Structure 1
Amino acid sequence: MQIISKEKHIAKLSNLLKIFILKNTKYASTFPVSRNCIGLSRSIGYSQEPLFLTKYLKTKMKATGPITVADYMREVLTNPVTGYYMHRDVIGDKGDFITSPEVGQLFGEMVAVWLFSEWQKVGSPNPLQLVELGPGRGSLSEDLLRVTRNSIAASFVFAKFGAANIVSLHLVELSPHLSRLQAQRLCGDTTKENEPNSVENHYRSGTSLHGTPVFWHHRLQDVPRYFSCVVANEFFDALPVHKFQKTEAGWREILIDIDPNDENKFKYVISRGETLASRLFIKKTECRNHLEVSPESAVIIQHIVDRLEEDGGIALLADYGHNGTNTDTFRAFKRHQLWDLLVEPGTADLTADVDFSCLKDAAGDRVVTYGPVSQREFLINMGIAFRLEKLLKSCKPELKDRLVTGYHLMVDKEKMGDRFKFFALFPSVLKEHLKKFPVAGFHNA
C-alpha cells in the first residue's frame, strides 16, 4: 500500500469531501463501493410500512450497491426531505436527547465566562463575532449573549464603541426547523428570511432581545472573516463516520445494504477488499481492531484553523468522546433510550463518539490545542460550584432543586462529568503569550 505524506493526506481528504463543504444540496456517496461484500451477522427488520427515507435508501442501494455508514448517517440526519434534524424539535424532555445547555444556565455561563476571559487576554479585539456551530434550540447562544451583556468589562467596551459595532452572533445551522426555534428564542418575531437566491452570505437575520445583531448561515465559510470566538457543543458527534474492521486480510470497511432474504430489512456487510476510504483514512500504526473515522470533522476543523490563523480568534469544543482509544461507538437514541440504528431511519438520533486525537491531527501545528479534559474538570476549574452557591442564595425556593440536580448531572463522574470533554484551539502565534497567561479551565492539560 502506498504511504502518503500528511500534507497529501489532508489535500486528498479535502478534495474527496468537498461535497460536504458545498451548500446543503445533493447527498451523493463520497466513496463508491462494490456490491461484492461479505454479510455480517446483524440483520434488523420492522413490521411497519417503510417510511419515505427507508424507501429512498433501498432505492439507492439497489442502484449503486451498499452504502458507507457515513452516507447512511448523513442521509438519516440531514436529508432535506425527511432528515432527523431538518423538520422537528429533537432536543429536550420531549425529544430524543438532552444537551448540557438545556440542563440549566450554569453550563452556558461557564462557557461564556471562558470565552470572554480569553478574548480579554488577547487584547479584546473588535469587532467580536460569537460563532456557534449546530446551536440546537439556541440555549447556549442565549446564555452567551446574556453573560456578555451583563459583564462589567463588556459594558465598558460596549459603552465606548457601541454594541452593534462590537459584537455579533453567527449561528451555523442547516435545519430550517431548528433555525426557526433559535430565532424565536433569541430575537422574538423580529427576524427576516432572505430569498433562496439571495447573494447574502446569511439566510436569516435579526436583532436579539439584548440588541445584538444575529445571523444564520448554512456553512462556517459563509461567516464574515473577523476575529471570532467559535463554540461547538455536541456538534461533531453528529457528523458522519466511516466504520472499519480489521480482518485476517487487512482493514475492511463496514457498509450497510438490504438484507437479500428480506428487503424490508437493512444489514451490515463488510467489503471483500479495500475501499478508497480504508486506504486513505487508516494510519499504518493503528493498533485497534475496530475504527471509526469522521473525515468531515477534519474538514471543519481545518476551516476553523484557517479562520483562527488568518483572522484571529479562539475556539472551544465540547462533546462526548475519547483521545484515540474507543472503537465501536456508533449508536442511536430515541426518546432518551438506546435504539437500533437500522430500524426506521430518520426517527432517531445517530451519533458517534468524537475522536479528539483525529481533531488534533487535522488541526496540525498552525494552532495550539488544549485538552481534551473532562467536562467535570473544566466546569469546576471555571468556578461552577461557586456560581451555584451564589445562585442558591438568591433564587426562588422552587428553583433550588432544579439547579442542584442540573449541577450534579453536568459534573458527576457517573453522569455527564467524565463522559463529555472540552477541547480548545488558539492560533499558534499566541503560543508564547499563552505561557504567560495560562488558558482558563485547562489547568492540568
Structure 2
Amino acid sequence: MYVTVLCYPNSCSVSKWAAPFGGIAIHSSCAFRIGSRRWYSYKSVRRPNLGATSVPKVEPPKEQPEESSKAESGHGSLAKQLRAKILATGPIPVAEYMREVLTNPQAGYYMNRDVFGREGDFITSPEISQIFGELVGIWLVSEWRKMGSPSPFQLVELGPGRGTLARDVLKVLTKFKQDAEFSMHMVEVSPFLSKAQAQRFCYSHQTLPEDAQQPHYQEGTTASGTKAFWHRRLEDVPQGFSLVLAHEFFDALPVHKLQLVDGKWQEVLIDVASSDGAEDAGFRYVLSRSQTPVSSLYRPMPGETRSCLEHSLETERQVGLLAERIERDGGIALIMDYGHFGEKTDTFRAFKQHKLHDPLLEPGSADLTADVDFKLVRHIAETRGNIHCCGPVEQGLFLQRMQGEARLEQLLAHALPENQEIIRSGYEMLTDPAQMGSRFKFLAMFPGVLAPHLDKYPIAGFS
C-alpha cells in the first residue's frame, strides 16, 4: 500500500503517515493548475501494513440495526462531499478531514448510530468493568471533600459516549454527597448519543425545541432527582464549581500532521487519489510544498526534537477553556485517555469492528483517533491559567492505588460462579500493562492556589 507525498526541493525522507484532522487550505502558490484543478508532482512513500498489526480477536458483529444501515448509506455521500471540496479548493488538512468524518451532521461517524461496545468498533474502560466508574467516582468524592465539600456543584463530562461512566459516577456521588446538591452537565454533539445517554441514567428526559434559546438542548431527571442537562459546547455549561471528566474525549479531537523540512514546518494534507476526477477515486496523503497557515504559526515547545508530529489546535482550545473555568470557578478536571508525553510522531489511525482500518477508506465508517499529547495538555493548562497539574499516571497504577483489588474481591464474593471469571478478566484488562494498564493515562487539573494544600495532602491515585 502506498501514499503520495508532494515533492519539494532537496527532499528529505518522509516518515509514515496515518491521517489527521484539519481544515486549512494550502496557499495557491504551492501548486500549479491544470484547467480549474490544482495539481502537484508526487512521489510514493510506503505506508505500514495494517494487516500485519496484531490486534485482539473479536466475535463477528451481529446484524446491524436500522440506524447502522442508514449510516452506512451515508458513507458514500460523505466521500463525495470530501472529494468535491478537494477538487474545488485543493488538498485539505488532516484535521479538517477528521472533523468532517466524525461529526458531519448527516454522515459523521458519531452522529447517527451506536459505535461503542463489543458489537461496535471499539470498547471503552467503563463498558468493560463497573469498577472503573466506581473508582473514578470515589476519587472525585475524595478530592471534593479535601476542598471543603462545596455545594452546590456540577458533574460535567466531555464526550460521555453511552453514558456508562456518568451512570456509575452518579451512583457514587448520590451515595456519598452527604447533604450537597449537584447537577449533571453532558457536553455532547451527537443527537443519537445524547438520547442513549439519557436513557442510560435518566428517569425522564426531553429534547427542547430548536428555538428554546437555552444553553442546553436536552434535559432530564435521574431516579434520585438529580437534574441533567446536555450542551453542545463546554462554553455553554453554567459557571460554578465543577467536577469535570474527559474519558476518551481528547483522542477524537482533530490533529494537524506537521513535517520539518529544511528548518521549516510543512503540513501533511489529504488529496484525491486520481487526477481525472473520477467519482469513485479514493484519497491519499500529500505534503505541502510550502508552509500552510497552521505550519507557519506552529511553535514547538522547548526541547522539541521530533521532525514530524501531530498537533491539535482543538486540544489547545479545550484545555485552555478547562483551565480558565477551574481557575475562575473552582473545581477539578480528570482527563483519562491513551497517549504519550511528547515523544510519539505518528499515531493517527482508524478502528472498525475492533480492528485497525485505513483512515482514508470509506470515510464515516470507522472511528478516527490519535494519541493524546499529555505534555501539550500540561503545558497549555499551566500557561493558560493558574493550574496545578498532576500526572499523567498509568491507568493500571491509578486503579490499583484506588484499591481496585479490594473492590474486585467484594464483587467476586457476591457474584455467581459463572460470572466470576468475567469480572476478574475485565479488571485484569483494565490494569494489565500488556493490555490497557499502561496504554491509558490519567491527568488531573486543580486550581493553582491549592498547590500547597495538595502537597500536604497528596492526590489519591497519583502517588
User: TM-score band (shorter)?
Assistant: 0.7 to 0.9
For the pair 1:283 / 2:305, whether they are aligned, the reply is: no
Question: Which residue of structure 1 aligns with residue 65 of structure 2?
Answer: none
For the pair 1:172 / 2:166, whether they are aligned, the reply is: no
Question: In 2 relative to 1, CA 79–397 (structure 1 residues): closer, same or farther, beyond 3 Å?
Answer: same
Question: Which residue of structure 2 aligns with residue 41 of structure 1?
Answer: 44
Q: RMSD in angstroms over aligned alpha carbons?
A: 2.0
Give CA-to-partner distance per residue, 1:338-375, whole Å, 9 cap, x none. Answer: 00000000000000000011111111241000111100
For the pair 1:98 / 2:113, whether they are aligned, the reply is: no
For the pair 1:62 / 2:87, whether they are aligned, the reply is: yes
Tell me which of 410, 414, 419 is aligned to 1:399: 419
For 2:22 and 2:412, locate their aligned partners in 1 and report how far apart those are by CA, in whole Å. Answer: 52
For 1:85 and 1:258, locate their aligned partners in 2 and report how far apart those are by CA, in whole Å. Answer: 24
Give CA-to-partner distance per residue, 1:182-205, whole Å, 9 cap, x none. Answer: 0111114x1111111211111000
For the pair 1:260 / 2:282, whether they are aligned, the reply is: no
Question: Which residue of structure 1 aligns with residue 224 of structure 2?
Answer: 210
For 2:252 and 2:123, locate their aligned partners in 1 and report how far apart those are by CA, in whole Å. Answer: 14
Counterparts of residues 150-161 of structure 1 (less than 5 Å): 150-151=175-176, 154=177, 156-158=178-180
CA contact (8 A) 2:382 2:389 kept: no
CA contact (8 A) 1:94 1:335 kept: yes
Question: Which residue of structure 2 aligns with residue 78 of structure 1?
Answer: 103
CA contact (8 A) 1:145 1:210 kept: no
For the pair 1:231 / 2:245, whether they are aligned, the reply is: yes
For the pair 1:377 / 2:397, whether they are aligned, the reply is: yes
- Structure 1, unmatched stretches of 5+, are 1-26, 159-165
For 2:324 and 2:229, locate their aligned partners in 1 and report how far apart those are by CA, in whole Å. Answer: 21
Tell me which of 141, 151, 155 is aligned to 2:166: 141
Secondary structure of 1:269's aligned partner: strand
For 1:97 and 1:202, locate their aligned partners in 2 and report how far apart those are by CA, in whole Å. Answer: 28
Q: Is the deviation greater in 238-247 or in 273-282? A: 273-282
CA contact (8 A) 1:317 1:424 kept: yes
Shift of 1:306: 1.1
For 2:429 and 2:355, locate their aligned partners in 1 and report how far apart those are by CA, in whole Å. Answer: 17
Tell me the TM-score normalized by structure 1. 0.87
For the pair 1:199 / 2:217, whether they are aligned, the reply is: no
Question: Which residue of structure 2 aligns with residue 14 of structure 1?
Answer: none
Tell me which of 29, 41, 60 is aligned to 2:23: 29
Give CA-to-partner distance per residue, 1:362-403, whole Å, 9 cap, x none. Answer: 112410001111001111111111110111112222321111
For 2:87 and 2:22, locate their aligned partners in 1 and report how far apart those are by CA, in whole Å. Answer: 14
Shift of 1:107: 0.4
For 1:33 and 1:167, locate their aligned partners in 2 and report how far apart those are by CA, in whole Å. Answer: 50
Question: Which residue of structure 1 aligns with residue 199 of structure 2?
Answer: 184
Question: Which residue of structure 2 aligns with residue 438 of structure 1?
Answer: 458
Secondary structure of 2:434's aligned partner: helix
Q: Is the deviation greater in 238-247 or in 396-405? A: 396-405
Higher helix share: 1
Tell me which of 427, 445, 449 is aligned to 1:429: 449
For 1:74 and 1:338, locate their aligned partners in 2 and report how far apart those are by CA, in whole Å. Answer: 19
Question: Which residue of structure 2 aligns with residue 343 of structure 1?
Answer: 361
Q: Is the deviation greater in 376-385 or in 258-267? A: 258-267
Shift of 1:87: 0.5
